[in-house]
Amino acid sequence: MNAILFYVATVIVYGAVDSMACLALNVQFGFAGLSNFGFIIFQAGGAYVAAILSMGPWQKSNGGFQQYVLGWHLVWPLPWIGAAIFGGLLALPFVFLVGKRLRGDFAAVGLLVSAVLLNQLVNNFVPLFNGAAGISIVPAPFSGKWNPQGLGYQFAYGGVAVVLAVLVYFLLRRVTESPYGRSLRAMRDNDVVADALGKNVRVQRTSMLILGGMIAGLSGAVLVGFINLWAPGAWGYAETIVLFAAIIVGGAGNHKGAVLGALLVPLGFEEVTRFIPPLSNPALVPALEWVAIGLLIIGFLWFRPDGILPERRRILSRSATSAVPVLSSGESDSLINLGNLDQMDFRQLLRLEGDANDHGIILASDRLTRAFHGVTVVSEVSIEIQRGRITGLIGPNGAGKSTTLAMLAGTLAPTSGKVLYEGRDITSMPSNERAKAGMIRTFQLASEFKKLTVLENLVSAIPRQSGDSFPGALRGRRYWGREDVENIERASEMLEGFGLSQYADSYAGGLSGGQRRLVEIMRALLAQPTILLLDEPMAGVHPNLAHKIGDQLMRLAASGMTIVMVEHELAIMDAFCDPVIVLAEGRVLAQGTMAELRAKKEVVEAYLVG
Amino acid sequence: MSVELTKQGLVLSASGLSAGYDGRAIVSDIVIEATPGKVVSVVGPNGSGKSTLLKSLVGVVKVLDGHVTVGEHEITNLAPEEVAMIGVGYVPQIDDVFPPLSVKENLEIGGYLLGRREIPGRIDMVLDFFPKLKTMMTRKAGKLSGGERKMLAMGRVLMLSPSVLVLDEPTANLAPMVATQLLEEFVRGFADHGSTVLLVEQRAKAALRISDWTYVLGGGRVVLAGAPRDLEQNPLFVESFLGGSSTARTASNE
Amino acid sequence: MSVFLSSLGFGLISAAVLAIATVGFTMQFAVTNVLNLAYGSVMINSAFVTYYLNYHAHLNAWVAMIGGVFTGAVASYLLNRFVFTPFQRRNLPPITIVIVALGVDLVGTFGLQAIIGGSYFSYKQSLGREVHFWGMYFSTLQLIIIGICIVVLGLIHWLLKYTRLGKAMRATSANATLARNSGVRTQRVISSTWLISGALCGLAGTVFAMNTGVFDATSAQLYIVLMLAAMFLGGPGSAYGAMIGAVTIGVATELSAGYFNPQYKEVIAFIVLLGMLTFRPFGLFGSEKTI
């Protein structure tokens, strides 16, 4: 009977440790899109540090085989705190792998290789952590006062471990169910667009690496305090794969899924195999375990990639409009209710403040050039954009319009030339900084955050949210809640104006092409731009709606917003843009109103050449 | 120019064609025909679906409705390599060469369907046509200038000895003089020697000058069609390019 | 000087094995755009088929190697056909395929271990005499391996540069659509690429096992580090880059082993890999457009 109780205590501790680890990895992978294939080193690091901090000085009586201890013999909970801190610090060397430019699978492989190598290093370099033999006789907390082998102690330990796991659960939930969490998921879904809306992708990823690292370190400390030893054999790179399997099975992007996965896979598997009778080949059972884990990964990714408990759809609470059922796919665009758009007062909604009569130069480029492998796509383009006007940018295919826009917005670096914003040279300013300074751009191709609802897509763009930072998220709903409700209201109003209220809680990825374009425009507007750079915003939009949007843009311009629009549809240019700049073959050809341009021979030639 | 560079043409025709990505039609109800010895051009404002139309004819974009035939073969939704085997040569607007391969190797891939012995002979024929390429045979295609690249792209497709030539904006990014030469000498020349040529062009006026028949696309549909002389006189024609007319809307996803 | 030369010698044999492995690995990436992390498991399984033929069927190890090569080719082909291609059709994010590859690696490596157990094996073959010239020491076995490597790489070079299939492979990895427009049956080219690169994988596994002497089911698990370093150094997707990368990494690791500590020789590969990923993920010879 006693044996069973001891066993139960062990299971409780392992369950808690695995849950903490999976919760942390899930925040990195499932919420922030960080494939941390090196996760295990954070847990291992924490375990080693906790062990070292809790061990007493080297004593000859131990046989003298452990030679590296600091001997501080720190009292609990200091070793565990130290472990968490070390886990966080371990994240810092990997910061360079998580910038914007590296492909996700390449970065993941870099982390995997790091885990492999560090394991090798520790295994071979004895002075560090005693090499392959590892550290043993790690004292359990308070082992001086109480007997760690006693049943009561073990259950108490299990209790503490579970409490910690629960605290981690609530902490992580607080982080992810906040405006900051929305930004993380947006970054996961499309990091280029998140960056263009002002999110600092590198900082967000680094923060998640550190947070996850701290929790991983803590989980290692809890484990080592219970099993009293730790060696490289316990943390090969395959252990990370087990945790990934757990999350894939349980449900990435869902905290409860992470816990479920932890209980089913690392815990469940381990315990089930304990009860299999020993076979002729003792290596058989562990080997089959690994085979089963591999098959589990492949099977789930094929049949049920979202896991047992998929990520929940977030329905943002707001004042009840009408009880319209959630539409799950983009039905006919012609059903769009165009009624409201004329009555909307976007100026108030977007808090515009500019002086409508100031038409000074707000944005300029000086001999902007972009070449690619000897092909010059944009050549010495110097343009000036006036405040409070809608400037059109037109030209035949391949004229360099989108490339120029991208260089103005900062998504593409010029080969030479400068970009000046309000007189300052911002050529080397990264795109997310430009977004924060008020330069907002839209994209030609599908750029919605697919696994966020339409309403979440819109709210995520609103700048300067107090809950949209790591410290802000930690302070909880009481801190950012009221402001968030206001933001949600504003986004809902915008949605209603564009006639898409019934899609508020639908996943943005399921809308039709034209509807997604509208979401793009709405999102850009909510980002409170000082200057709006639109890349073919009306493509695929019903002509009537396009005109209504154009009317709204004119009202915005009249209130001081500056707009630059790349478009093909010359009728739109006619109606809304003044001035219009014509690009052809990478150079500025002419500038003026559409009427003036139509009268110019070289423009007609460029379009109809001849 | 050698008579054998392109084969005697076949009739390329599409009827009731709708095509697009992910099940959404970008072009609808297209009826076009291109016959041997003639240059047929497709013009229209940006976003009207011209490129998508061409891609759906050669198997790169999915045909959602309607039929495409070449001669007696039905090629609707046939794989691009099979379309090539039937003798349809396609030159895309961008990504029209293999950048890491040399000029010679690009041409060799163009002649993939030929027997080994035939390739050197055909390469010589293509080089007679584009003599400038002779000095660049070992250069990597990615390092060529815009005009040279286009020549190589056309040379690649000629290796196939196509009976139908489908060209997507062949003069894009070319200097006007080079563009004119390309259209008037080569494109017109191919047709004059018996091939079928279907051409999408941004430079509508230049296309009209060398075409026997022109379709104007707007909003994914054919809005005008006719002989270039007639079209030039038609006021709707200019309007459809410079905007203002209800016929020329960008392709809508309704 | 003698340390340098003898380490150089070790480096050359390391480089030979690594070159064969990496060229196969990078070819798979070139046509399929997938980092096949299951490569190591195919290597070791092929090594074991060779072992089985050598030990139980009593074939000479070099003859048995043909069985290993064959296994690598078939296994890789099946892997692409029944795992990677179906998953890729589903339009999932690229990281998903990498995780799938890891899953396959687990199944392949530990499935083998389940069958053969945890003990160590070695081929029944003689090492031959020890040969030395220019301060470098080789066994006959190693010289044969180096010879095989040179021949095989020469064949690959000939394949890529002079054969219709090789040019079709390069065209397919540069622009698959245009290749199809030119009449290339890219499906078949891709299958052939996996067969050929799989053969390289099988060969690499066998010579790896021969050179290591004693091996078990997990011996090739860490080899992926060296292959990735070599591949990223030369540029992902480039066979010639892989050759150069492999020689560099092979020699560098052994030199560091000779001068510093043999236990940490992989560290050099690690540093190179992380350095390339940070600064030039398209390789020394590639450019931003190639990935």
Tell me whether residues A609 and B203 touch, CB distance under 8 A: yes
Q: Of A192-196, A439-443, A579-583, B230-234, which range is least confident?
A: B230-234
Nearest to C103 among A107, A284, A298 (CB): A298
Nearest CA in chain A to C280: A102
Structure tokens at A453: 């609802």
Nearest CA in chain A to B172: A398
Residue A60 scores a pLDDT above 70 = no
Looking at residue A447, what is its pLDDT? Answer: 87
Looking at residue A281, what is its pLDDT? Answer: 67
Nearest CA in chain A to C109: A291
Contact A48, A136 (CB under 8 A): no
Domain ranges of chain A: 2-236, 333-608
Min distance A523 CA to chain B CA atoms (Å): 21
A516-A522-A523-A529 Cα dihedral, nearest 10 degrees? 140
Q: What is the mean pLDDT of residues B204-233?
A: 89
Q: What is the mean pLDDT of residues A218-245?
A: 90
CA quadruple A153, A154, A155, A156: dihedral positive or negative?
positive
How far apart, in whole angstroms, are the C-alpha atoms of residue B174 and residue B179? 6
Nearest to A543 among B93, B172, B249 (CB): B249
Min distance A336 CA to chain C CA atoms (Å): 30
Can you list the pairs that C132-136 forms with residues at least 24 positions away whose Cβ atoms lie under 8 Å? Answer: C134/C5, C135/C1, C135/C2, C135/C4, C135/C5, C135/C6, C135/C8, C135/C9, C136/C5, C136/C6, C136/C8, C136/C9, C136/C12
Name every chain A residue with its beta carbon within 8 A of the beta carbon of C100. Answer: 297-298, 301
Tell me whether C180 touches chain B (CB under 8 Å): yes
Q: Please, which residues have CB within 8 angstroms of residue B142's CB and are 6 or more apart in sequence?
A: A373, B97, B99, B100
Contact A243, A25 (CB under 8 A): yes
Tell me whether B169 touches chain A (CB under 8 Å): yes
Structure tokens at A32: 């922030």
Average pLDDT over chain C, rounded to an integer: 91
Q: Which CATH architecture has domain A333-608?
A: 3-Layer(aba) Sandwich (3.40)
Min distance A276 CA to chain B CA atoms (Å): 50
Tell me whether residues B242 and A598 touch, CB distance under 8 A: yes
Residue A330 scores a pLDDT above 60 = no
Structure tokens at C250: 């092979």
Tell me whether C254 touches chain A (CB under 8 Å): no
Residue A338 scores a pLDDT above 70 = no
Residue A194 scores a pLDDT above 50 = yes
How far apart, in whole angstroms, are the C-alpha atoms of residue A208 and residue A202? 10
Residue A575 scores a pLDDT above 70 = yes
Confidence of residue A322 (pLDDT cuts 50, 70, 90): very low
Instruction: Please identify among residues 92-151 of chain A the ones whose CB lies closer than 8 Å to any CB of chain C.
Output: 96-97, 101-110, 112-114, 116-117, 120-121, 124-125
Name every chain B residue with its beta carbon within 8 A of the beta carbon of C174. Answer: 98-101
Contact C102, A237 (CB under 8 A): no
- Beta carbons within 10 angstroms of residue A491's beta carbon: 26
Residue C86 scores a pLDDT above 90 = yes
Q: Which secondary structure element, helix H or strand E, spans residue A435, and what is its range?
A: helix A431-436
B171 φ/ψ angles, rounded to the nearest 5 degrees: -100, 5
Tell me whether residues B253 and A574 touch, CB distance under 8 A: no
Tell me whether residues A295 and C103 touch, CB distance under 8 A: yes
Q: Please, which residues have CB within 8 angstroms of residue C67's CB and are 6 or more apart in sequence?
A: C49, C50, C52, C53, C59
Coil/strand/helix, residue A239: helix
Name every chain C residue with its beta carbon within 8 A of the beta carbon of B101. Answer: 167, 170-171, 174
Tell me whether C291 touches chain A (CB under 8 Å): yes
Instruction: Please identify among residues 186-245 of chain C the ones whose CB lies closer than 8 Å to any CB of chain B.
Output: 186
Tell me whether A2 touches chain B (CB under 8 Å): no
Q: Which secondary structure element, helix H or strand E, spans residue A591, and what is its range?
A: strand A587-592
Count contacts between A and C (CB, < 8 Å): 133
Q: Please, which residues have CB within 8 angstroms of residue A196's CB and are 6 or more apart in sequence?
A: A409, A411, A431, A432, A435, A440, A441, A443
Looking at residue A441, what is its pLDDT? Answer: 94
Count contacts between B and C (CB, < 8 Å): 71
How far apart, in whole angstroms, are the C-alpha atoms of residue C25 and residue C210? 20
Tell me whether A412 touches chain C (CB under 8 Å): no
> What type of residue sits at position C95?
I
The segment with the largest mean pLDDT, out of A177-181, A321-325, C259-263, is A177-181
Contact B252, A542 (CB under 8 A): yes
Domain ranges of chain B: 3-242
Min distance A41 CA to chain C CA atoms (Å): 15
Contact B165, B38 (CB under 8 A): no
Confidence of residue B254 (pLDDT cuts 50, 70, 90): very low
Instruction: Please identify among residues 520-579 of chain A the ones whose CB lies closer than 8 Å to any CB of chain B.
Output: 536, 538-543, 568-574
Nearest CA in chain A to C105: A294
Residue B243 scores a pLDDT above 80 = no
In angstroms, the Cα distances linking A558 to A352, A388, A525, A546 are 10, 6, 15, 18
Min distance A95 CA to chain C CA atoms (Å): 10
Looking at residue A373, what is its pLDDT? Answer: 66
Tell me whether residues A397 and B169 touch, CB distance under 8 A: yes
Confidence of residue A333 (pLDDT cuts 50, 70, 90): very low
Alpha helices in A304-419 (DSSP H): 346-349, 401-409
Looking at residue A607, what is its pLDDT? Answer: 63
Q: Which secondary structure element, helix H or strand E, spans residue B88, and what is its range?
A: strand B88-91
Tell me whether A398 touches chain B (CB under 8 Å): yes
Nearest to C250 by CA among C174, C130, C166, C142: C142
Confidence of residue B231 (pLDDT cuts 50, 70, 90): confident
Looking at residue C37, what is its pLDDT? Answer: 95
Q: Of A599-603, B87-91, C162-166, which range is least confident?
A: A599-603
Name every chain C residue with its beta carbon within 8 A of the beta carbon of B90. Answer: 181
Tell me whether residues B98 and C175 touch, CB distance under 8 A: yes
Beta-sheet pairing, B39-43 with A375-381: unpaired
Best of B51, B62, B102, B109 to disrupt the C interface (most C CBs within 10 Å) is: B109
Contact A137, A228 (CB under 8 A): yes
Residue C7 scores a pLDDT above 50 = yes
Name every chain C residue with its beta carbon within 8 A of the beta carbon of B95. Answer: 175, 177-178
pLDDT digits (tens, 9 = 90+) for A2-51: 888 888 999 999 999 999 999 999 999 999 999 999 999 999 999 999 98
pLDDT digits (tens, 9 = 90+) for B32-71: 999 999 999 999 877 778 999 999 999 999 999 999 999 9
Name every chain C residue with its beta carbon within 8 A of the beta carbon of A101. Answer: 281
- Beta carbons within 10 angstroms of residue B134's beta carbon: 12
Structure tokens at C96: 């998903």
CATH fold label, B3-242: Rossmann fold (3.40.50)
Q: What is the mean pLDDT of residues B18-42?
A: 91
How far apart, in whole angstroms, are the C-alpha atoms of residue A563 and residue A577? 9
Min distance B109 CA to chain A CA atoms (Å): 22
Name every chain A residue with its beta carbon within 8 A of the beta carbon of C35. Answer: 105-106, 109
pLDDT digits (tens, 9 = 90+) for A260-311: 999 999 988 778 777 777 776 667 888 888 999 999 999 999 999 999 999 9
Tokens 């066994």 found at? C139
Tell me whether residues B93 and A397 touch, CB distance under 8 A: yes
Q: What percent of chain A has pLDDT over 90?
A: 49
DSSP per position, A26-87 = HIIIIIT----TTHHHHHHHHHHHHHHHH-----GGGTS---------PPTTHHHHHHHHHH
How far apart, in whole angstroms, are the C-alpha atoms of residue A225 and residue C26? 44
Residue A355 scores a pLDDT above 60 = yes
Tell me whether residues A609 and B169 touch, CB distance under 8 A: no
C139-C145-C150-C153 Cα dihedral, nearest 10 degrees? -160
Q: What is the mean pLDDT of residues A248-265?
A: 95
Confidence of residue A328 (pLDDT cuts 50, 70, 90): very low
Coil/strand/helix, residue A396: coil
Tokens 């050809």 found at? A589
Nearest CA in chain A to C89: A302
Tell me whether residues A125 and C224 touch, CB distance under 8 A: no
Confidence of residue A63 (pLDDT cuts 50, 70, 90): low
How far apart, in whole angstroms, are the C-alpha atoms of residue A155 and residue B72? 82
Nearest to A326 by CA among A316, A337, A340: A316
Name every chain A residue with its beta carbon within 8 A of the beta carbon of B143. Answer: 373-374
Q: Please, which residues have CB within 8 angstroms of residue A327's CB and are 6 or more apart in sequence?
A: A502, A503, A506
Count contacts between A and B (CB, < 8 Å): 94
Contact B56, B63 (CB under 8 A): yes
How far apart, in whole angstroms, are the C-alpha atoms of residue C175 and residue A424? 42
A516-A518-A519-A521 Cα dihedral, nearest 10 degrees? 130
Tell me whether A241 touches chain C (CB under 8 Å): yes
Q: How many residues does chain C have?
A: 291
Min distance B45 CA to chain C CA atoms (Å): 25
In angstroms, the Cα distances linking A587 to A159, A394, A406, B6, C51 are 71, 11, 15, 37, 67
Average pLDDT over chain A, rounded to an integer: 86
